[in-house]
Structure 1
């Protein structure tokens, strides 16, 4: 007799007050087959077949069937089927329509449980029961997840209003309602169910969509949070679309106005925003200062590696369509979209019930506890186990093939480079599999090339040495720290600052894309915002309900004399100079620049350097006049600066600086001061075609004013002042229709005040008199510029004007050089006290 013929039906009765099954589920020793609840006649025609062990997850097969294949080393597995949802915004707590008890002989191949089920009603959902796990589990390979749309944000599943008090949560919690979970006391969020097939509403026309295929040297990356981008009322996005994928489409014009061409989305894989703290506590968390309910706003705790975050949609049954629409619209504008992905840990800090945690496969373990914490988030994903590796590869392929994303930024990518014991691997299998996968061949791969192992005496800092490095760009934490140190006036940073500007030859000289392997940033979602770097000396995380113990303590920041907001104009003027200095350093450095959401207008998080838990204005982007005017029209400065960079290929070369195209200076021409006390650096960028000077940049991070000697300009040309960060807008960045035009002669003098920077550009003075060029883009006609887009890596010999051996000699001598025989003007005569207010 077949298994389908032996299927049984059992009458299961509901508790009407809850609408949930109680104690009448199939017994523990139920025989294999289909058990159906009488309340769901639509499931009475189910038939069961043996199925196939591959591919994992759910696959549609012939004769109206679906194949289910689940890796699990447990002795018992049951497939739970749930009825279709009747509303795209409701919760998912409801009765199971059927349980399929799998046969441990017929439905198992190796470690894979499988079956084929026929005649499942369209739109049904499913989950898994595993022996020894007292809750229903989401299939790790579920492609579509049901969790409610935007209207369910910060609302517990099955409830129609936000939880207000802990006692109410205990009384109405999922664990108190669902059968068989009475012994599970520490589950702090509801389960998720998978949709068996893509909703019919999800039909989509890509219109021959294709990635723009931008080259690395063309990129300007903008790190953005989907919800935070448009939730503020100033976004002028409709209430329904605010905080969603569709809402982002409504403000893509804003990103284009910044010059952004690569959007890096903070995690959009399904996560639980009500994972309220990383220690798996039941109690809700409220801010001790604002009294609001805290949440996991950033989303760095994935529940699914395949399903997009439903609560970033207006209707969760259409979340796939809405995300695809966003990607298509981004591509139409010539921009790319990169996903921030988290394969280093999963949502739970202790027992991760939504994954099949069997036989030490999915997670790393150590002698100190059941779960290793190399991720810093309570558990560590075992990325280099073959089963986990397969999941990661299939997940990445899914996002590329189904959603057309252009690349991935791997959070805490150092975890990808560890074996099950936490040992660092030189050739980690998962990294090798990613770079050699045919589907992933042309996507952009970005590594946050470290993890939290240093906290556990297991450091894994891989900047410049990430495995298979030719295929990876890296978040360059060294650039971030060096620029912060130099701009705030830390002594002994001039050489490191020059290396940062030059593209880090010592880190990336052997890689195919040269300095473009370095993603340069001064601030990101982690840590202080750009403005807070110049407004706070120490973190102020009291609102986080962690006693100000969370977040890093060493922020390499300087408050310019006063902690926090002040009306002192001398302090605010200095702060404005410093944030402009940061942007100029980012613009003139070789590599790929990245800006995080809000830093373009000087957004402040009020000194909080760990705002992961706030769904409010601290994490919302501001639009309109208030943003435009903030910090003396800083937003204008940022737009102009990146337009200038984009127009001048001399600022975007995929080659390292060498003696052929850069000339270093101090405040006197050709006299750079590399001493430990120096806080001044200037340089001239020369046209590689003819060696003529084109751009001059100088940074004064000392407390002294200097009369700077201006280099020789090519014959018939003069220096046009493009930037002076000491000047008020619109003279801080030159525009002929708004700014004062200042032309400087060769060997003339220019006064630079303390903590300021300037940038000059050679021009034909007659053009300027005639009102040309009129925009930063038009300045390109006076510089080395080529608009062609290179899409393939090329050899080092063709990348640089000098061969590799010559470059190595240049940078080695550069690093070692100290001009002891020069009487350079330094600021050793005055000690700058970072704790005192500027006079």
Structure 2
């Protein structure tokens, strides 16, 4: 026989969420317009027990239940008005997930009861009375006194950072050296077989695609697909349960923490890609899973002309209303939790412009920026903005304030244009190679404000970028309408795979050219997982719903030469301060050097670039001279850094070109260190060349170390 129902004591309105104190659990839920709130507890067999929360303080409904502890599954039913035209969507037939839950159990299963409205009457006054509880996930009460003793976050400086953007499941789902039970999990990501790959590659941080618990959109479930990338968040405090080898009863929290601790022990930081701009509840036709039923107008931006609709700056149906205190509190509480409790080292904010909109425009003085900047926890970790959304004026590259860094979309576009053969000249390229001072210098930021990348999860892989000009997204079920159609790329003359050895070699060189440009640029480079292995998605440039071999890293078909090339470049970058400078170049003469500069630009004829050269859109050859005696920042002890000097010769034209290498005082001779004409980047033997005419192969990058007489 079941025991007596636990008494609901008043409890406390703070903190929000479910918190166990050793003898019972306090539950607290914010809702400004609710008439009543039922806390729903579930037995192991799914039996539901409802408990009315009688206490409200500051619009928070709360109660404490003795004997309820870790592992308890729970949810809420919120009573109130159902008036979509007024923005109200309360419906007690829908079991709602606590937005502050620390763990989630169960999957979302497609069923008509997920939707709050009746039939096609989306804006009607009658709510759907079908119980959604059997078809939606539940929250889990969690208490996890994890032994963090000995955890040492690497705290790598921005200028020393090399980011590796990777999907938790895709990293090891097909890894032969990871035990099958751990593949595709947090434990798999922290397995020595994968950690050794990261260390050999030389990256300093992993940027994980979303790990906040997410669900798949109904339109994908109807097509038999699922959301693979995870940009469809449902719970901002809970690690995604499907990535846990320990199950979904709270073990995912411990497993995530263990992953972080093990990566830290290897000297690798953990950055999370976070999606605070929208939720999985979609637009007015979407399901009622959490915030929509808790306080729809309190959490979402509603259309001022029709409050049954949502203002959508994200392209995902809704936009969280970050202007509201409860929403700001949710975001900041979540961010602080992941730093203090989960020990992560930073965040990349998806569609960050949507978070910075005060009324309609993106506002550098928005409440979101204010609370982030003054927060003593969040302001001291790595902050990366994706500086755009899909709304008007949403493209804000270069406009986020300090201390933000940004995914530099201009960098990606410029580098792709150059190597695809577009006649764009070298002026914009020069800015991108040297940290994008045109974007980040005026507000006091440093070159590391620019997160440089050529590819990301969204778009072609690097191998596909040089193989396909046209996307092949038919497997997504949207008639190839989804995904970017203008990719600023070139297929080297043949669309798709080919056996032509000349095309194959050219494509391999083009891959090396993109990577050499990226890793020799000032700023923070971001590599996309798999690009170092030669991974292909068979031309799919929007594989967000491909949870299969299309998206997973292929550990069997590895391009060993490409791997050797990338690791060589990363090692060179990390050992060369002149390639990862913390201050912008000045172009000033360096005293005692006979007239060299910290940065100089050379035309093919050996002379420094003229004004005419900078505006010549037909110019496809650029020499960049970096003097290691002119590094402008000092180490922690106040000592000036010294390094070798280098000349980078970049030639994007298809035919060979003769360049004049500058002589004294710039150099007495040069040693060829990297050349993308070679499969591993290394010349077959030590190559020293004198100043003067040299022939550069078509489509090639050379890195020459400056040699000087004693």
* Contact residue 95 and residue 133 of structure 2 kept, 8 A: no
Q: Verify: 1:364 aligned to 2:292, yes or no.
A: no
Please give the alpha-carbon distance, in whole angstroms, between the structure 1 residues aligned to 2:704 and 2:654.
22
Query: Which deviates more, 116-125 or 682-691?
Result: 682-691
Task: Kindly provide the CA deviation profile for residues 442-476 of structure 1, in whole angstroms up to 9, marking residues without a partner as x.
Answer: 211000011111xxxx122221111xx22111000
Q: Verify: 1:441 aligned to 2:375, yes or no.
A: no
Q: Verify: 1:516 aligned to 2:468, yes or no.
A: no
Q: 1:415 to 1:170 in 2, by over 3 A?
A: closer
Partner of 1:47: 7
Partner of 1:757: 701
Task: Kindly provide the CA deviation profile for residues 776-796 of structure 1, in whole angstroms up to 9, marking residues without a partner as x.
Answer: xxxxxxxxxxxxxxxxxxxxx
Partner of 1:798: none
Please give the alpha-carbon distance, in whole angstroms, between the structure 1 residues aligned to 2:507 and 2:536.
12
Q: 1:428 to 1:352 in 2, by over 3 A?
A: farther
Partner of 1:642: 570
* Contact residue 94 and residue 133 of structure 2 kept, 8 A: no
Q: Secondary structure at the match of 1:635?
A: helix
Task: Kindly provide the CA deviation profile for residues 320-342 of structure 1, in whole angstroms up to 9, marking residues without a partner as x.
Answer: 11111111111111111100000
Q: 1:665 to 1:194 in 2, by over 3 A?
A: same
CA deviation after TM superposition for structure 1 residue 188, in Å: 12
Partner of 1:525: 457
1:133-282 aligned at under 5 Å gives the runs 133=91, 134-147=93-106, 183=128, 190-198=135-143, 202-232=144-174, 234-250=175-191, 251-272=194-215, 274-277=216-219
* Contact residue 226 and residue 266 of structure 1 kept, 8 A: yes
Partner of 2:342: 403
Partner of 2:398: 464
Partner of 1:742: 687
Partner of 1:309: 240
Q: Secondary structure at the match of 2:568?
A: helix
CA deviation after TM superposition for structure 1 residue 391, in Å: 0.4
Please give the alpha-carbon distance, in whole angstroms, between the structure 2 residues aligned to 1:208 and 1:692.
35
Partner of 2:586: 658
CA deviation after TM superposition for structure 1 residue 574, in Å: 1.5
Partner of 2:637: none
Partner of 2:639: none
CA deviation after TM superposition for structure 1 residue 52, in Å: 2.3
Q: 1:500 to 1:146 in 2, by over 3 A?
A: same
1:620-631 aligned at under 5 Å gives the runs 620-623=552-555, 626-629=557-560
Please give the alpha-carbon distance, in whole angstroms, between the structure 2 residues aligned to 1:267 and 1:692.
38
* Contact residue 103 and residue 241 of structure 2 kept, 8 A: no
CA deviation after TM superposition for structure 1 residue 424, in Å: 2.7
CA deviation after TM superposition for structure 1 residue 713, in Å: 6.0
Partner of 2:594: none
* Contact residue 485 and residue 493 of structure 1 kept, 8 A: no
Please give the alpha-carbon distance, in whole angstroms, between the structure 2 residues aligned to 1:564 and 1:579.
15
Task: Kindly provide the CA deviation profile for residues 636-695 of structure 1, in whole angstroms up to 9, marking residues without a partner as x.
Answer: 111111111111110011122232311111212124332121111112111234999821
Q: Verify: 1:354 aligned to 2:289, yes or no.
A: yes
Partner of 1:431: 369
Q: Secondary structure at the match of 1:330?
A: helix
Q: Secondary structure at the match of 2:544?
A: coil
Q: Secondary structure at the match of 1:460?
A: coil
Query: Which deviates more, 128-137 or 48-57?
Result: 48-57
Task: Kindly provide the CA deviation profile for residues 355-402 of structure 1, in whole angstroms up to 9, marking residues without a partner as x.
Answer: 233351111122466112211111111122111000000000110111
Please give the alpha-carbon distance, in whole angstroms, between the structure 1 residues aligned to 2:131 and 2:555.
41
Q: 1:517 to 1:544 in 2, by over 3 A?
A: same
Q: Secondary structure at the match of 1:384?
A: coil
Please give the alpha-carbon distance, in whole angstroms, between the structure 1 residues aligned to 2:329 and 2:168.
28
1:716-731 aligned at under 5 Å gives the runs 718-727=669-678, 729-730=679-680
Please give the alpha-carbon distance, in whole angstroms, between the structure 1 residues aligned to 2:470 and 2:447.
32
TM-score (norm 1): 0.74
CA deviation after TM superposition for structure 1 residue 484, in Å: 0.5
Which structure's CA Rg is the greater one? 1
Q: 1:49 to 1:602 in 2, by over 3 A?
A: same
Query: Which deviates more, 682-691 or 576-585?
Result: 682-691
Partner of 2:254: 321
* Contact residue 108 and residue 136 of structure 2 kept, 8 A: no
Task: Kindly provide the CA deviation profile for residues 97-156 of structure 1, in whole angstroms up to 9, marking residues without a partner as x.
Answer: x211233xxx12242212222222553221100123221101111122223xxxxxxx76
Q: Which of these residues, 653, 656, 660, is aligned with residue 702 of structure 1?
A: 653
Partner of 2:549: 617
Task: Kindly provide the CA deviation profile for residues 611-645 of structure 1, in whole angstroms up to 9, marking residues without a partner as x.
Answer: 00001111111225x3133xxx1111111111111
Please give the alpha-carbon distance, in whole angstroms, between the structure 2 residues aligned to 1:560 and 1:228.
29
Please give the alpha-carbon distance, in whole angstroms, between the structure 1 residues aligned to 2:2 and 2:702.
73
Aligned-residue Cα RMSD (Å) equals: 2.7
Please give the alpha-carbon distance, in whole angstroms, between the structure 2 residues aligned to 1:693 and 1:230.
38
* Contact residue 361 and residue 393 of structure 2 kept, 8 A: no
Please give the alpha-carbon distance, in whole angstroms, between the structure 1 residues aligned to 2:382 and 2:310.
31
Partner of 1:376: 315
Q: 1:184 to 1:696 in 2, by over 3 A?
A: farther
Task: Kindly provide the CA deviation profile for residues 283-307 of structure 1, in whole angstroms up to 9, marking residues without a partner as x.
Answer: 621xxxxxxx421000001110000
Q: Which of these residues, 425, 432, 442, is aligned with residue 500 of structure 1?
A: 432
**Count of aligned pairs between the two proteins:** 657
Please give the alpha-carbon distance, in whole angstroms, between the structure 2 residues aligned to 1:188 and 1:548.
36
TM-score (norm 2): 0.88
